[in-house]
Amino acid sequence: MADDANLHVRFFRPTGESRPAAFDAFSGELTDADRARALEFAREEDRVQSLVSRLLLRRTLSDVLGGDPASWRFVRGPHGKPELDPVHRERAHFNVTHTAGLVGVAVSTAGAVGLDAESGERAGDIVKVARRRFAEEEVEAMERLSEEDRRSRALLLWTLKESWLKAVGCGLTGTLRSCRFDVLREPGEEFEEGLVRARTDDEAPARFFVARPEGRWSLSLCCMRSDGEPLAVAMRNVESL
């Protein structure tokens, strides 16, 4: 195993050199199903991102659990969330995210997991979205901030909500108001727990870790775990594939 952590997060920043032809070198790690999945996307950028995320996921699973990266098989859950084949599901859970300039995967041996990343350069007005779709108390707290901090808070809340919805398996088919957050302290470079207080409609147990590396991305990690046992996050940037 890679280390003694029970939550393993890997990030990779694709560049212009990440082209489909480059993945020929990884033919032993990617499968025909991976390539077929990538070809479903119309844009080359999306096809590359699909291959990058699948290769990163396969390698992370093997780092954490051992075994051949090409051996992992995936299925889709009731709401379309990718999951490990049932033969491996008791060993680990995973989730994948991507945003401008960043692809990330999380592998958890502690419980179902959701990972979300959003770039500070995200297009559109996230504050307007927040005002329309977030809980009233979240919006009130956000409006007390400066304009710049308001945008950062909206992005952080968005990642928290999406990480929760991904962890419970419904993604954005769920409602953003089903989970509400009080931000107790702004995140730093590394994932930390205890920076937010969460309230969910179904009171399902969940623990949240947040980070804001380089001040450029908002990252949230949710693990469905009810006990108070310590959870350790191992976050690594992968420099090259």
> Which residues, 6+ apart, have CB-to-CB distance to 90 below 8 Å?
none
This prediction's pTM: 0.91
In angstroms, the Cα distances linking 10 to 39, 86, 94, 140, 178 are: 24, 23, 11, 34, 28
pLDDT at 1: 43
User: What span, in angstroms and rounded, lies between the C-alpha atoms of 24 and 40?
Assistant: 18
Same topology between domain 7-110 and domain 115-238: yes
- At residue 153, the pLDDT reads 94
Within 8 A by CB and 6+ apart from 206, the residues are 164, 167, 168, 198, 200, 222, 223, 224, 225
- Hey, which CATH number is domain 7-110, 3.90.470.20, 3.40.190.10, 3.10.450.50, 3.40.50.300? 3.90.470.20
| Domain 115-238 coded CATH 3.40.50.720 | no
Residue 62, CA distances (Å) to 9, 97, 164 in order: 13, 19, 25
Q: What is the pLDDT of residue 38?
A: 87
Number of H helices, E strands in the chain: 6, 12
pLDDT in tens for each of the 241 residues of the chain?
445 789 999 999 877 655 555 566 667 899 988 888 888 989 888 888 888 899 999 999 999 999 999 999 998 877 777 889 887 777 899 999 998 789 999 999 999 999 999 988 765 689 999 999 999 999 999 999 998 899 999 999 999 999 999 998 875 555 788 899 999 999 999 999 999 999 887 777 899 999 999 888 999 999 998 777 889 999 999 988 7
Q: Return the pLDDT at 171.
A: 56
**CA separation for the pair 203, 194 (Å, rounded):** 17
Return the closest-CA partner of residue 106 out of 19, 215, 211, 200: 211
The stretches of 91-135 forming alpha helices (DSSP H) are 126-133
Could you tell me which residues come within 8 angstroms of residue 168 by beta carbon, excluding any fewer than 6 positions away? Answer: 112, 114, 174, 204, 206, 224
CA 129, CA 62: separation in Å to the nearest integer? 38
Residue 53's nearest CA partner among 82, 21, 91, 88 is 82
Domain ranges in the chain are 7-110, 115-238
pLDDT computed for residue 2 by the predictor: 46
Q: Which of 50, 149, 151 has its CA nearest to residue 105? A: 50
Q: Which residues lie across from 238 on neighbouring strands? A: 12
Q: Which of 102, 131, 94 is nearest to 217 (CA)?
A: 102
